[in-house]
Amino acid sequence: MNLLVIGATGTLGRQIVRRALDEGHEVTCLVRTPRAATFLREWGASLVKGDLREPPTLKLALEGNTVVIDAATVRATDSLSIHEVDWEGKVALIQAAKAAGIQRYVFISILGSEKYPQVPLMDIKHCTELFLQESGLNYTILRPCGFFQGLIGQYAIPILEKQSVWVMDEASPTAYMDTQDIAKFAVNALSHSETERKTYDLAGPQTWSPEQLVELCEKFADQDAKVTRMSMRLLKGGQKWLDSSNGVGILQIA
């Protein structure tokens, strides 16, 4: 198959590219900065410069491809707006994919996104699921839990470097998966017709609280962690201030 991978330089996206190449697929990656994606070309993927915020570039990227695997999302370090990329950009991509006759659109969402409409990214992911389902495209939606790889920067490295580990009070235990396993689901779904027009929740076999993760990292690092706790009430208050100051609202689809 000829695959177009969106978000190919991300933690999950690169694993999807690697898996697809290993299974013999022809892979094209939409990238904003080709220089930062040279490792994908070295693996055997083709690069097309483009941006979800620039619809004309999407048409070019889609040419010659039959499948889209969309693993893109705004990163915490990006200066881009969630609404601009994860909503407007994804709507443009889905519309362009339909116009191009894409045979399967695999969308990576977030587990439980429909339960948190007050969280902008979660709400946008859920709204995108609905938009894709109503688009007429042949889709598969995967809703993974947390990434094990994300725990390295969040817990392991700060503990090793004797930096503070931020822990949210009242945080719910979370299930995690290796992004390599999630990539297997994404690529293998393409060869199974029963996954068409279906949505799947992906989660690891057990949940972990922040305290359990800190304890585990302390054990492997053989040193104590400096834990800084943040109140959920304080975080919600800060989110309300950001929403009112930046005009960020909750998306609704009529």
Encode pLDDT of 176-217 as tens digits: 999 999 999 999 999 999 999 999 999 988 898 989 999 999
CB atoms within 10 A of CB 131: 17
What strands lie across the sheet with 104-108, from one edge to the other?
46-49, 26-31, 2-6, 67-70, 104-108, 139-144, 198-202
Backbone angles phi, psi at 28, to 5 degrees: -115, 140
The CATH code belonging to domain 2-148+177-204 is 3.40.50.720
Mean pLDDT, residues 79-89: 86
Return the pLDDT at 76.
55
Among 61-65, 218-222, 227-231, 250-254, the least confident range: 250-254
State both tokens at 222.
Answer: 């053989």
Mean pLDDT, residues 209-238: 79
Mean pLDDT, residues 156-184: 88
Domain ranges of the chain: 2-148+177-204
Encode pLDDT of 11-67 as tens digits: 999 999 999 999 999 999 999 999 999 999 999 999 999 999 999 999 999 999 999
Does the pLDDT value for residue 249 go beyond 70? no
